[in-house]
Structure 1
Amino acid sequence: MSQSTDTTTLPASPWPALWAMVIGFFMILVDSTIVSVATPAIRDDLAADYNAVIWVTSAYLLAYAVPLLITGRLGDRLGPKRVYLTGLTIFTASSLWCGLTGSIEWLIIARVLQGFGASMMTPQTMSVITRTFPADSRGRAMALWGATAGVATLVGPVLGGVLVDTAGWEWIFFINVPVGIIGFVLAWRLVPALETHSHSFDWVGVGLSALAMFLIVFGIQEGEEYDWGTINGWLSVPLLIGVGLLVLAVFVWWQARNRREPLVPLSLFRDRNFSVASVAISTVSFSVTAMAFPFMLWTQTVLGYDATQSGLLFVPMAVVTAVMAPIVGRMADRLPPRRLASVGFAVSALALLGTALVIAPDTPLWQLLVLNALLGFGNAFLWSPLASTATRNLPMSSAGAGSGVYNATRQVGAVLGSAAIAAAITARLAVHVPGAGDAGAEAVSGQGLPAEFAGPFSDAMAESIVVPAVAFAVGLLVVQFFARPAHAEPSTSRSSRT
Structure 2
Amino acid sequence: MRKHKPTSSFWILGLTSLGFFMSMMDSMIVTTASTAIRHDFGISITSLQWALNAYNVTIAAVLLVGAALGNRFGHRTVYMAGMAVFVLGSLMAALSGSIAVLIAARVVQGVGASVLTPMSMTILASGTPPERRGKALGIYSGIGGLGLIVGPALGGLIVSQLTWQWIFWINIPIGLAGIWLSHKYLPEDTPGNGRINLVDAVLVIIASVALILGLSDKSWSRFSIVLGLAGVALWAVLMLRQRGQSNPMIPLSFFRSPSFDGGNLATFLLYASMYGVVFFLPQQLQVVGGAKALVAGLELLPWTGTLVVVAPLAGKWVDRFGERMVAALGLFLQGLGYFWIGLTTGGEFTYAALVLPLIISGAGLSMAGPALQKAVLGAVPSADSGKASGIYNMSRLLGGAVGVAVSVLVFYARGSASSPAAFTSGFKAAMLTAAVLSLLGLPAAAAIGRSESK
With the length of structure 1 as denominator, give the TM-score of the two structures: 0.81
Residue matched to 1:22: 17
C-alpha RMSD of matched pairs (Å): 3.2
Aligned in 2, Cα 1:22/1:122: closer, same or farther, shift over 3 Å? same
1:351 aligns with 2:337: yes
Letter in 1 for 2:55: Y
Residue matched to 1:245: 232
Shift of residue 296, structure 1, vs aligned partner: 2.1
Aligned in 2, Cα 1:186/1:478: closer, same or farther, shift over 3 Å? farther
Residue matched to 1:490: none
Residue matched to 2:447: 481
Tell me, in whole angstroms, the C-alpha distance in 2 between the residues paired with 1:183 and 1:287.
33
Residue matched to 1:299: 285
Among candidates 357, 367, 371, match of residue 385 of structure 1: 371
Among candidates 62, 87, 95, match of residue 67 of structure 1: 62
Q: Greater CA deviation, 385-394 or 170-179?
A: 385-394
Residue matched to 1:424: 410
Residue matched to 1:496: none
Shift of residue 410, structure 1, vs aligned partner: 1.6
Aligned in 2, Cα 1:354/1:195: closer, same or farther, shift over 3 Å? farther
**What is the DSSP-based 3-state SS (H/G/I as helix, E as strand, rest coil) of the residue aligned with 1:215?**
helix
Letter in 2 for 1:285: Y
- Asked whether the 8 Å contact 2:125–2:137 carries over to 1, the reply is no
- Asked whether the 8 Å contact 2:311–2:366 carries over to 1, the reply is yes
- Asked whether the 8 Å contact 1:140–1:329 carries over to 2, the reply is no
Tell me, in whole angstroms, the C-alpha distance in 2 between the residues paired with 1:124 and 1:389.
22
Letter in 1 for 2:242: Q
Shift of residue 201, structure 1, vs aligned partner: 1.6
- Asked whether the 8 Å contact 2:19–2:120 carries over to 1, the reply is no
Letter in 2 for 1:408: M
Aligned in 2, Cα 1:91/1:390: closer, same or farther, shift over 3 Å? same
Q: Mapping of 1:57-456 within 5 angstroms? A: 57-128=52-123, 143-144=138-139, 146-185=141-180, 187-188=182-183, 191-193=186-188, 197-222=192-217, 224=218, 226=219, 228-230=220-222, 236-257=223-244, 259-332=245-318, 335-392=321-378, 398-429=384-415, 440=417, 442=418, 449=419, 454=421, 456=422
- Asked whether the 8 Å contact 1:67–1:119 carries over to 2, the reply is yes
**What is the DSSP-based 3-state SS (H/G/I as helix, E as strand, rest coil) of the residue aligned with 1:200?**
coil
Tell me, in whole angstroms, the C-alpha distance in 1 between the residues paired with 2:324 and 2:130.
18
- Asked whether the 8 Å contact 1:137–1:333 carries over to 2, the reply is no
Identity of aligned residues (%): 29
Letter in 2 for 1:238: I
Shift of residue 360, structure 1, vs aligned partner: 2.0
Shift of residue 119, structure 1, vs aligned partner: 0.6
Tell me, in whole angstroms, the C-alpha distance in 1 between the residues paired with 2:80 and 2:450.
36
- Asked whether the 8 Å contact 1:151–1:318 carries over to 2, the reply is no
**What is the DSSP-based 3-state SS (H/G/I as helix, E as strand, rest coil) of the residue aligned with 2:289?**
coil
Per-residue deviation, residues 340-399 of structure 1 (Å, max 9, x unmatched): 222322221111111112212424332212222222222221333333343346556544
- Asked whether the 8 Å contact 2:16–2:121 carries over to 1, the reply is no
- Asked whether the 8 Å contact 2:7–2:186 carries over to 1, the reply is no
Aligned in 2, Cα 1:148/1:280: closer, same or farther, shift over 3 Å? farther
Tell me, in whole angstroms, the C-alpha distance in 2 between the residues paired with 1:264 and 1:163.
40
Tell me, in whole angstroms, the C-alpha distance in 2 between the residues paired with 1:261 and 1:88.
27
Among candidates 32, 48, 54, match of residue 49 of structure 2: 54
- Asked whether the 8 Å contact 1:300–1:310 carries over to 2, the reply is yes
Relative contact order (C-alpha < 8 Å, sep 6+): which is higher?
1
Shift of residue 221, structure 1, vs aligned partner: 0.6
Aligned in 2, Cα 1:279/1:83: closer, same or farther, shift over 3 Å? farther
Shift of residue 248, structure 1, vs aligned partner: 1.6
Tell me, in whole angstroms, the C-alpha distance in 1 between the residues paired with 2:32 and 2:232.
32
Tell me, in whole angstroms, the C-alpha distance in 1 between the residues paired with 2:332 and 2:135.
23
Shift of residue 475, structure 1, vs aligned partner: 2.5
**What is the DSSP-based 3-state SS (H/G/I as helix, E as strand, rest coil) of the residue aligned with 2:348?**
coil
Among candidates 462, 467, 472, match of residue 433 of structure 2: 467
Tell me, in whole angstroms, the C-alpha distance in 1 between the residues paired with 2:369 and 2:363.
11
